[in-house]
Chains A and B, each alone.
Chain A
């Protein structure tokens, strides 16, 4: 079986998504959770670029990807800012300690 370029990218996208979700499920450090989220988003970004490629409209795909990077960075910044506050006021970055609100 011939490995075409899109298929390789798809595998990478799926890999990034898998790693990202896996990270979200098992990682306990809040900083690492944010990193896992970033991995997820990078998978989506790659998918956008690939979509532009496959649709024959590379510029649109790229501009979407760039927009995604911006949005994603903002989310990461907010996530990290929250992490700083969490460390300061709760005293731990372990998300296991972030489970007071339940039931």
Chain B
């Protein structure tokens, strides 16, 4: 019976696997098998094997079931939202692992990297499936811990250390606030189960209102709501590129999912929550885009663009939660998926250039806009992938980002509320604004005259190119056939709306 449960496999592989990877990788190093990078292969294998149980679970979830896993006091329940998050994190983690083969291959502490990457994937899946409020926090905290260590992976680089310190302190502040919120909700409802609490909360209750404030701000730190986003540009730009991709592609979205789960408990608060999300949506889109507009470091620019993309997701979610427009939620979940693909692709292709132009030469200088000049001549695939990624992020068809934004906009218009419709127009204007910093990058990368640093660059490793090719293909295919993931996003939207009693 135990061995028949795919859910158990899905959780056990990463959580039991990551210490093993660390220890065996460590031991392998001691024994002198340094080039075999056994930790890489183990992590890749573990992630690939996880696809099978997830596939099985996915079938059950899409068929309307809710697979449950009980381990003593811990209960995990996979619904549509959990499935979407798990699928996204697994897909991106596989890509990142493969990409990192050469990227961190020459670094010391490689085994730490792969072990933490696997652990992070596992705990994010746990976060997506947590069935009670405190468990949600524990997974959330575990995710934070794994990401702290990964952000500060280059532990002898001042930049990485500074980013790590800010990230740890700010995240921990947010985490404390979440705990306070949990304490308040528990006091009031005497329960922790996500499904049980709503029935036990008598509205209106000032205590619950305060808990709502704590949840929004506490989880908001991790999901980079403006003005809580200040750690993000530092952390995303200083982490190894694969980790930047994970942070931007799934970690902040996992924060958003945690926020939604906790707010679902307080669904009695009703409309003010949607208003709040709308305010953050506007702030995130505007501040993220304007801050990105004048950046000269590629990864920092991409980091600010993540801030703005959280704004789009919030817009769709607010349309769904405040006005019952299911397309808004579906669009936001679709955007979580496409954003993970596109931002992952953007960070990884920037990472390829960073690796070939700097890291392989032993430098930890950031990749700047000027370095891109003419990169297409030497790195045609990376240049193409980067262009696909940023143009997709800017919302140009036929790329996936256009379709997910469109679905969010449909949600906005379906509310029939003039305010939401104007906000959609505002969001569209923001997309145009974002092209103001994406397009010049594409122009620069396709210059005919390569910059000196490009000419001196190292050849692109095959594994990196392979990852970029697959991700680019995914972004293009989803742009042509958005219907492919309808079932996934719709089931996530249904789960979310039912959690809010809509």
Contact = CB atoms under 8 A, between A and B. Distances in A.
- The answer on direct contact between A and B (beta carbons under 8 Å) is yes
Interface of A: 17, 20-21, 24, 30, 33, 37, 40-41, 43-45, 47-48, 50-52, 54-57, 60-61, 63-64, 67-68, 71, 74-75, 78-79, 82-83, 85-86, 88-90, 95, 98-101
Contact of B190 (A21, A57, A100): A57
A51 B145 contact: no
Given A54-B187, A95-B165, A100 B179 contact: no
Contact of B192 (A43, A44, A60, A101): A60
Interface residues of B, number: 41
Nearest to B166: A98
A24 B234 CA distance: 19
Contact of B187 (A37, A45, A51, A90): A51
B242 interface: no
Contact of B158 (A51, A60, A89): A89
A65 to B, nearest CB: 9
A101 B495 CA distance: 40
Contacts of B141: 71, 75
Given A44-B179, A101-B234, A75 B162 contact: no
Contact of A30 (B159, B165, B182, B234): B165
Given A78-B145, A100-B159, A101-B159, A86 B165 contact: yes
Most buried by A among B138, B149, B175, B189: B175
B152 A37 contact: no
23 contacts: A17-B176, A24-B173, A40-B172, A43-B176, A43-B180, A44-B180, A47-B180, A48-B179, A52-B186, A55-B189, A60-B186, A68-B179, A71-B145, A75-B141, A75-B145, A79-B168, A79-B169, A82-B164, A82-B168, A85-B155, A89-B161, A98-B165, A100-B158
Nearest to A91: B158
Contacts of B498: none
Given A64-B186, A74-B145, A100-B158, 18 more contacts: A20-B176, A33-B169, A37-B176, A40-B173, A44-B183, A48-B182, A50-B183, A50-B187, A51-B182, A54-B187, A55-B186, A71-B142, A75-B145, A78-B148, A78-B149, A85-B155, A99-B162, A101-B238
B51 to A, nearest CB: 30
Contact of B152 (A24, A68, A82): A82
B8 interface: no
B363 interface: no
Interface of B: 73, 134, 138, 141-142, 144-145, 148-149, 152, 155-159, 161-166, 168-169, 172-173, 175-176, 179-180, 182-184, 186-187, 189-190, 192, 233-234, 237-238
Contacts, number: 118
B364 to A, nearest CB: 12
A21 B170 CA distance: 11
B162 A100 contact: yes
B233 A101 contact: yes
Contacts of B186: 48, 51-52, 55, 57, 60-61, 64
A47 to B, nearest CB: 4
Describe B's contact surface by its main secondary structure.
helix
A86 B161 CA distance: 6
Contact of B172 (A54, A57, A61, A75): A75
A85 B238 contact: no
A30 B176 CA distance: 19
Contact of A44 (B144, B166, B176, B238): B176
Contacts of A56: 190
Describe A's contact surface by its main secondary structure.
helix
Contacts of A54: 187
A91 B20 CA distance: 35
Contacts of A21: 173
The 7 closest A-B pairs by CB, nearest first: A51-B183, A44-B179, A47-B183, A55-B190, A101-B234, A51-B187, A51-B186
A100 B166 CA distance: 12
Nearest to A87: B161
Contacts of B173: 21, 24, 37, 40
Contact of B162 (A33, A64, A78, A101): A101
Given A41-B172, A67-B134, A89-B158, A48 B183 contact: yes
Contacts of A99: 162
A90 to B, nearest CB: 5
Given A50-B183, A51-B186, A56-B190, A37 B155 contact: no
A89 B234 CA distance: 18
Contacts of B166: 98, 101
A43 B173 CA distance: 12
Given A48-B183, A78-B149, A89 B176 contact: no
A43 B176 CA distance: 9
A89 B165 CA distance: 13
Nearest to A63: B73
